[in-house]
Amino acid sequence: MASTPSVSEIRRAKFARRLPARLSELVGPAHGTVGLPLHLAWSGLTQFDLDQPRLRMSCYRIVLAEGMRDDLVQYLNQDLLISLWPVLRTLISRDIRDAWEGAFAELAHQATAAA
């Protein structure tokens, strides 16, 4: 008899389905102001200056948690994500972190290199 998946397993699978095939698909801006649509930033700020570390981190947290595949590739930047990952991974849910690190060895490597 098959066991029922845990809430965490269901959440991880949900985030994994949204991932791009490769990090190189993340072609979002690395600098300047980004305006997130309401389906992502539905509470609080919608404009984020990527040149300000706190706003950049907030923007990435929101997109990782709320974004669908098209949002991820539009608003996230591969190089910026990799550079932010050692800190960013501590600010997102374990389910999101596990989905991304399970799919992309570059991020898992960044996590262990920073430890």
Domain-embedded: residue 64 = yes
pLDDT beyond 80 at 91: yes
Domain-embedded: residue 67 = yes
Q: Which residues contact 23 (CB under 8 A, 6 or more apart)?
A: 78, 81, 82, 104, 106, 107
**pTM reported for the whole predicted model:** 0.90
pLDDT beyond 80 at 1: no
Q: In this predicted model, what pLDDT tens digit does every residue of 13-62 receive, in sequence order?
A: 888 899 999 999 999 999 999 999 999 998 889 999 999 999 999 999 99
- CB half-sphere exposure, 65, CA atoms < 13 A: 16
> In terms of residue numbers, what domain contains 71?
47-115
Domain-embedded: residue 85 = yes
Of 75, 69, 90, 70, residue with least CA distance to 34: 75
Q: In this predicted model, what pLDDT tens digit does every residue of 65-82 receive, in sequence order?
A: 999 999 999 999 999 999
Confidence (pLDDT) at 3? 82
Q: 16 vs 87, which has greater pLDDT?
A: 87
Domain-embedded: residue 25 = no
Instruction: Tally the domains of the chain.
Output: 1
